[in-house]
């Protein structure tokens, strides 16, 4: 293959959102993108819906790898991505975020001396027990081009000795996506009416982190805490498959009055629900930021967050789910609050910047940089 070809590896829901905006920008630069879906997320409402709504092309390669232990999953992806790289021989490999698909892509490329570009570089929780923390540290240290979303992320990379010349602070591509799709969500999504919700009169909750789902006491605290809130204000919980499985395995019922469990939502419905929520309670990285993009207060159901600027700006507060009271009190305390305004995640042109820098490094014709 040769000049101007990038292999992009995606596999999990948040990566489809990020790739949606960057892929579109790459088309404009003349770079050829070969899209690889590892298969990590595979249900139609965890994968296909995002390709459809965000206009992502059908993947050129689908590796069909899902489930299994971290080791098995990552190893099978590594093998699959290596095969694609040997066939395509791209100039660069592009990965997003911190999932097992991210690490497998980066490792496969590094071993074949294909330079790696990492979008959302420099995020740190400083908790090495999180699988995502291991994935992001290793990916950053394998990458030649690191796209940091924030000043904090850039600082982490500098402190870890990554040469400044490799790091580009471009803003957050998720902000670009939220800006781009909010209006469409407003026009096209009927989710509020479908669920019988009034704008500003419900809480939107998501839970999927292993540190919550795989610890029965924490999962119980979240379910019971949200159940208490639901007695006062409807709570909508689009349930991630990991969480559905954990609730079943732990014999935990989610049936409190006002607490509404729904299937995972498509991006447009999710954006619509985020925009009109009174509050968001979540352990998701992406959803924390989206709450801020839409000026909605957020309670993060974790012990720490990578997106510390949201805490400092007053839009987000941590609520480690130690017991039901802690969760319910945090939500009640945050309702109606607002943080400071500002532009923490760039100006909505992160994806264009990523595409132009990549095009320049690929030597593709038509690059405007
Ligand atoms: C993964 C990422 C996490 C990210 C999240 C986004 C890792 C280590 N974790 O976690 O960082 O925040 O995606 O949502 O990469 N499942 C289904 N259907 C699906 C997808 C998953 O049934 O469409 C099941 C899997 O078979 C598995 C479980 O859900 O049993 C967890 O999926 P997995 O991809 O391993 O991890 P996530 O919890 O989704
Ligand atoms: N999301 C969605 N439907 C849902 C839950 C999340 O479209 O039911 C979107 C959300 O708006 C955000 C992304 O998925 O853009 C975040 O993914 P997730 O929470 O799974 O992962 P994380 O960001 O924590 O890695």
DSSP, residue by residue, 40-61: SS-STTTTHHHHHHHTPPPPSE
User: 2 pLDDT exceeds 90?
Assistant: no
For the CA of 285, the nearest ligand: 2
Is 208 among the residues known to form the active site? yes
CA of 17 to the centre of ligand 2 (A): 8
Residue of 41, 118, 156, 208 with catalytic role = 208
Residue nearest to atom 34 of ligand 1 (CA): 40
Q: Rounded distance, CA 328 to CA 176, Å? A: 32
Q: What's the confidence (pLDDT) of residue 311?
A: 98
For the CA of 210, the nearest ligand: 1
Residue nearest to atom 10 of ligand 2 (CA): 287
Q: What's the confidence (pLDDT) of residue 368?
A: 40
Nearest to 20 by CA among 43, 40, 50: 50
For the CA of 189, the nearest ligand: 2
Which of the listed residues 62, 70, 99 should we mutate to test ligand 1's pocket, taking the one with most ligand atoms within 8 A of CB?
99
Distances (CA, A) of 231 to 227, 262, 275: 7, 18, 22
Q: What's the confidence (pLDDT) of residue 369?
A: 42
pLDDT digits (tens, 9 = 90+) for 120-169: 999 999 999 999 999 999 999 999 999 999 999 999 999 999 999 999 99
Tokens standing for 2?
A: 């040769």
User: 1 pLDDT exceeds 90?
Assistant: no
User: 365 pLDDT exceeds 90?
Assistant: no
- Altogether, the residues listed in the chain come to a count of 369
CA of 9 to the centre of ligand 1 (A): 16
Q: Which atom of ligand 2 is nearest to the CA of 290?
A: 11
Residue nearest to atom 23 of ligand 2 (CA): 286
User: 367 pLDDT exceeds 70?
Assistant: no
pLDDT digits (tens, 9 = 90+) for 320-358: 999 999 999 999 999 999 999 999 999 999 999 999 999
Residue nearest to atom 35 of ligand 1 (CA): 67
pLDDT digits (tens, 9 = 90+) for 17-71: 999 999 999 999 999 999 999 999 999 999 999 999 999 999 999 999 999 999 9
pLDDT digits (tens, 9 = 90+) for 194-240: 999 999 999 999 999 999 999 999 999 999 999 999 999 999 999 99
pLDDT over 90, % of the chain: 96
Q: Which atom of ligand 2 is nearest to the CA of 17?
A: 15
Average pLDDT, the chain: 96
**Cα–chain center distance at 19:** 11
Q: Which residue has the tokens 């993060």?
A: 300
Q: Which atom of ligand 2 is nearest to the CA of 99?
A: 25
Q: Which atom of ligand 1 is nearest to the CA of 14?
A: 6
User: 366 pLDDT exceeds 70?
Assistant: no
User: 280 pLDDT exceeds 60?
Assistant: yes
For the CA of 178, the nearest ligand: 2
Q: Read off the DSSP letter of residue 148.
A: E
Contacts (Cβ under 8 Å, ≥6 apart) of 258:
230, 231, 232, 233, 234, 235
Cα of first residue to Cα of last residue in the chain, in angstroms, is: 23
User: 364 pLDDT exceeds 90?
Assistant: no
Q: What's the confidence (pLDDT) of residue 3?
A: 56
Q: Which atom of ligand 1 is nearest to the CA of 100?
A: 15
Report residue 363's pLDDT band, with 50, 70 and 90 as the boundaries. confident
Q: Rounded distance, CA 112 to CA 86, Å? A: 8
Lining ligand 2 with CB less than 6 A are: 13-14, 17, 206, 208, 238, 264-265, 267, 270, 284-287, 290
Q: Are the C-beta atoms of 47 and 14 separated by less than 8 Å?
A: no
Q: What's the confidence (pLDDT) of residue 201?
A: 98
């Amino acid at each position: 293959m040769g000049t101007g070809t990038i292999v992009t590896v995606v596999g999990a829901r948040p990566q489809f959102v990020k790739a949606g905006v960057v892929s579109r920008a790459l088309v404009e630069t003349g770079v050829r993108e070969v899209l690889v879906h590892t298969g990590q997320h595979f249900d139609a409402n965890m994968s296909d819906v995002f390709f459809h709504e965000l206009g992502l092309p059908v993947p050129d390669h689908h590796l069909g790898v899902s489930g299994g232990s971290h080791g098995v999953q990552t190893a099978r992806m590594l093998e699959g991505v290596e095969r694609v790289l040997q066939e395509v021989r791209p100039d660069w490999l592009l990965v997003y975020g911190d999932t097992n698909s991210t690490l497998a892509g980066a490792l496969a490329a590094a071993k074949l001396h294909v330079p790696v570009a990492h979008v959302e570089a420099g995020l740190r929780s400083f908790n090495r027990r999180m699988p995502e923390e291991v994935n992001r540290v290793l990916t950053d240290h394998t990458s030649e081009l690191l796209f940091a979303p924030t000043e904090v992320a850039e600082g982490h990379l500098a402190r870890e000795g990554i040469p400044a010349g490799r790091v580009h602070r471009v803003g957050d591509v998720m902000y670009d996506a939220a800006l781009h799709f909010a209006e469409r969500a407003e026009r096209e999504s009927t989710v509020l009416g479908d669920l019988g919700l009034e704008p500003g009169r419900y809480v939107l909750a998501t839970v999927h982190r292993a540190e919550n789902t795989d610890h029965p006491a924490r999962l119980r605290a979240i379910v019971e805490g949200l159940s208490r809130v639901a007695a006062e204000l409807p709570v909508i919980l689009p349930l991630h498959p990991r969480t559905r499985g954990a609730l079943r395995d732990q014999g935990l019922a989610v049936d409190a009055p006002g607490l509404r469990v729904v299937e995972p939502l498509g991006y447009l419905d999710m954006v619509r629900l985020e925009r009109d929520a009174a509050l968001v309670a979540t352990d998701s990285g992406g959803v924390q930021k989206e709450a801020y993009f839409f000026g909605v207060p957020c309670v993060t159901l974790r012990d720490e967050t990578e997106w510390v600027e949201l805490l400092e700006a007053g839009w987000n507060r941590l609520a480690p789910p130690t017991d039901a009271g802690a969760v319910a009190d945090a939500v009640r305390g945050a309702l109606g609050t607002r943080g400071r305004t500002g532009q923490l995640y760039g100006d909505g042109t992160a994806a264009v910047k990523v595409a132009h820098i990549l095009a320049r490094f690929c030597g593709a014709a038509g690059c405007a940089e």
